Structure 1
């Protein structure tokens, strides 16, 4: 039986609502609000800065845009990049020389893999590709052969299989051998050696890179002493300062099933918000929704949630954006078990829209929210007690 297929990428509507909120926030006669847009990481990006000097603001936005474009080129999961060269080396069983930045990203991502019990795992790129999400247009997608999914899942691809060591001149080093390859971008210098015990590992940094990019953009904003900024990468948003003297930034949360906001909340200096949802990259086949958030345990898209949103408080290490991007994934995939992982990551402000549309929100976040069309029932819960470890 041929499947009826419809592909969706719901990007524009949430950003339109955000733009309206920006306009409301900027209505006073204060320093100039300048906004630019671009398309990277497979999504629309809105960069908004507030500064007394419009020319200075535009130059900072241009620098941020160049940095985002660099990250997009360097770590693309399927177009030629340093990452695809690394994946090819892993598949062939070859060691790879990588840059210091990529080595640091991989080591850091491995920590999140461990902390999430493997729910967050960028090593399952081959599963994401098998589901057809390694392309810009997935209008022809259909569910893959379940046997193929099971076979790949049972090979247990995971970032945990990687060994990352400093690059040394030792002739016994794996990266000193003739089969070692360079997995670096133009003008990069090799700094580390990557090997894998599992050739099924294929790295896809889609659940990490937007948050990393948020923090890179924030570093540029701080370095140039911009008064305030809002960095929005496909709904992963980081706030710096506030748009005027009287109010913070205000963010619209996209309704996962309607072309309108679910709620609005203020976002304060240094905070970031991240949402994982089944409405962002998905296709329909025979009335079923298949999305890009693949559960490593099953090899199939997770089914217990429509959306999961976290607000991360300012981090002393300025990795707020990264945490907002990464942490929403294991909480989305965990389904009803999300409080355990919220406690592990120190998340106290969370909003869950379950598969049946029921809403659960933690009390600290509920206090901030202004519902656009109040749901019939909202379950408000105390935030899980944070555990020692990766917290906000």
Structure 2
């Protein structure tokens, strides 16, 4: 199963379903195209995979990239010319950060690195508490960044951008744009648990499953309609154990420590920025925890959302409850208006 989300409506016979998989953004990606000839599907999927690789190379946080070069300039207190595409991304990410009251904060890449998550393989590490306090006190924010005539500069040298909570969603939207331009009317794009749907899987909607955060297999399933995206943030993919404590890559910018007490958050989005929202908008809910997630969902305009807390209890909105079918029929989620 692909992490976080799995494609449940696989080939059940001789249906014209083409699937291509790859590994980019540090995760598995899958492009499924229905109802087209194999050469046409292969060409379309190949173009999407090339776009994913281009974005991966552009936005890598700890290998040479346009983003890492910008981070180096920020650390030196210098400005740097950046591409129009990156300008638009940073402006969008800054707006989402403001909307979330800083709970979605791509400027804390220094903290992510301090905890050892800027690596392809990360090892258990306990950062020095003084260093953590210094990063929190420095308070890097997206609002520290100014962009004038294509040159970006930060008033705060501690700003280190990590777009790991934005890039996958942006890539989903780009993939959907490319596929639609090629006349593809039915496809499902999956980037490590962020999934976007185009059209239908033949006569039925695309059906996807939400990965159980502690067991193999799906926690629940739902039909994904045209233009909808679903995204899950969890503590079960990028994490390490130190003693009996799980430390995940989702860091609370207020404390400087990895968020605990939440196993997963899933959000359902739609519209022109469905991909970006499925990725970025789930983070404030996760960081807000079981007590604050519902208010955070309201801030991010997410009527359809679900949180699995540290004990495995499921909390979800009424709107998402209407869409989900739980694998375990005995699950009794806590529905919050």
The whole-number CA distance in structure 2 between the counterparts of 1:125 and 1:358 is: 31
| 2:212 is equivalent to residue 228 of structure 1 | no
CA contact (8 A) 2:2 2:192 kept: no
CA contact (8 A) 1:48 1:230 kept: yes
CA contact (8 A) 1:361 1:379 kept: yes
CA contact (8 A) 1:255 1:262 kept: yes
| 2:58 is equivalent to residue 70 of structure 1 | no
Match of 1:263 in 2: 220
Residue of 158, 161, 176 corresponding to 1:200: 158
Match of 1:27 in 2: 12
Residue of 147, 150, 153 corresponding to 1:164: 147
The whole-number CA distance in structure 2 between the counterparts of 1:279 and 1:358 is: 16
Gaps of 5+ in 1: 1-11, 167-191, 383-392
Quote the offset at 1:14 in angstroms.
3.6
Q: Which has the larger radius of gyration?
A: 1
Match of 1:182 in 2: none
Quote the offset at 1:380 in angstroms.
1.5
| 2:90 is equivalent to residue 106 of structure 1 | yes
| 2:243 is equivalent to residue 299 of structure 1 | no
The whole-number CA distance in structure 2 between the counterparts of 1:119 and 1:151 is: 19
Q: How does 1:50-199 map to 2 (within 5 A)?
A: 50-138=34-122, 140-166=123-149, 192-199=150-157
The whole-number CA distance in structure 2 between the counterparts of 1:86 and 1:270 is: 33
Assess, with a 3 A threshold, how the Cα gap between structure 1 residues 51 and 377 changes in structure 2: closer, same or farther: closer
CA contact (8 A) 1:13 1:259 kept: no
The aligned length equals 336
The whole-number CA distance in structure 2 between the counterparts of 1:86 and 1:216 is: 23
| 2:231 is equivalent to residue 274 of structure 1 | yes
Normalising by structure 2, what TM-score? 0.96
Assess, with a 3 A threshold, how the Cα gap between structure 1 residues 377 and 22 changes in structure 2: closer, same or farther: closer
The whole-number CA distance in structure 2 between the counterparts of 1:298 and 1:282 is: 18
Quote the offset at 1:126 in angstroms.
0.4
Match of 1:340 in 2: 295
Residue of 6, 30, 43 corresponding to 1:18: 6
Quote the offset at 1:29 in angstroms.
5.2
Residue of 329, 332, 335 corresponding to 1:377: 332
| 2:245 is equivalent to residue 288 of structure 1 | yes
The whole-number CA distance in structure 1 between the counterparts of 2:198 and 2:83 is: 30
Gaps of 5+ in 2: none
Quote the offset at 1:373 in angstroms.
1.7
CA-based RMSD of the aligned residues comes to 1.4
CA contact (8 A) 1:95 1:194 kept: yes
Assess, with a 3 A threshold, how the Cα gap between structure 1 residues 203 and 14 changes in structure 2: closer, same or farther: closer
CA contact (8 A) 2:58 2:66 kept: yes
The whole-number CA distance in structure 2 between the counterparts of 1:163 and 1:135 is: 28
The whole-number CA distance in structure 1 between the counterparts of 2:20 and 2:331 is: 38
The whole-number CA distance in structure 1 between the counterparts of 2:329 and 2:237 is: 23
Assess, with a 3 A threshold, how the Cα gap between structure 1 residues 376 and 214 changes in structure 2: closer, same or farther: closer
Quote the offset at 1:346 in angstroms.
1.6
Quote the offset at 1:363 in angstroms.
1.6
| 2:312 is equivalent to residue 357 of structure 1 | yes
Quote the offset at 1:304 in angstroms.
2.9
The whole-number CA distance in structure 2 between the counterparts of 1:320 and 1:230 is: 13
Match of 1:319 in 2: 273
The whole-number CA distance in structure 2 between the counterparts of 1:14 and 1:282 is: 14
CA contact (8 A) 1:243 1:249 kept: yes
CA contact (8 A) 1:14 1:252 kept: no
